[in-house]
């Protein structure tokens, strides 16, 4: 194939210099949606709080009672090793709360069109209320289950209802929910957390 003759009279094409980088475009970050998410956040708070009722019943069913012996002076002395059940009841409550909080954080994250700090705050506050309801429901249910029918005699071994002697166990539920939601938000990597894809 013959080569085309080159015309030396044609001036070379000049490419204008590229503009400075800051003049290309301005990136706008999405703003936090508050007003539209208030009602869904309240709905999440209410729904999460109601989960505390079956969690309390589950704790009352699983928590071990403490066996004690009635003494001459009407004092109750724990059977050897039974006093550890006080810690068992607390750790069981913490474990139930932590697992429920993690599952709730993941479930609330699935509400793609409502992702953001407002709904997350609703889930965390609902988890605090759920932990409180679980504690009240669990203690009430366990107290009714291990109620004494008649006055015990000296030397009788009776089972006392499981107890929760501290409120620190309530923190497991909201911490689990915040941890799950926060990790999923950090892993997402989108500025709007994928709300527009919903």
Q: Considering the entire predicted model, what is its pTM?
A: 0.75
Report the pLDDT value the prediction gives residue 73, as an integer from 0 to 100.
73
pLDDT in tens, 134-144: 999 999 999 88
Q: What is the pLDDT of residues 39-81, one digit of tens each?
A: 999 999 999 999 999 999 999 999 988 877 777 676 666 677 6
**Residue 25 vs residues 14, 19, 20, 196: alpha-carbon distances, Å:** 25, 11, 11, 21
pLDDT of residue 177: 96
């Amino acid at each position: 194939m013959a080569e085309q003759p080159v015309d030396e009279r044609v001036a070379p094409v000049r490419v204008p210099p590229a503009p400075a980088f800051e003049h290309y475009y301005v990136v706008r970050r999405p703003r936090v949606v508050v007003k539209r998410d208030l009602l869904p956040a309240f709905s999440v708070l209410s729904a999460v709080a109601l989960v505390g009722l079956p969690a309390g019943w589950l704790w009352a069913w699983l928590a071990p009672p403490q066996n004690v012996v009635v003494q001459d002076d009407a004092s109750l002395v724990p059977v050897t090793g039974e006093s550890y059940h006080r810690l068992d009841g607390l750790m069981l409550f913490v474990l139930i709360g932590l697992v429920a909080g993690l599952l709730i954080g993941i479930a609330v994250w699935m509400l793609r069109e409502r992702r953001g700090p407002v709904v997350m705050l609703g889930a965390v506050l609902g988890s605090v209320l759920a932990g409180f309801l679980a504690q009240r429901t669990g203690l009430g249910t366990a107290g009714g289950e291990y109620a004494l029918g008649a006055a015990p005699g000296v030397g009788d071994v009776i089972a006392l209802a499981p107890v929760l002697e501290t409120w620190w166990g309530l923190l497991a539920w909201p911490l689990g929910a915040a941890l799950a939601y926060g990790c999923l938000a950090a892993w997402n990597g989108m500025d709007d957390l994928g709300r527009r894809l919903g």
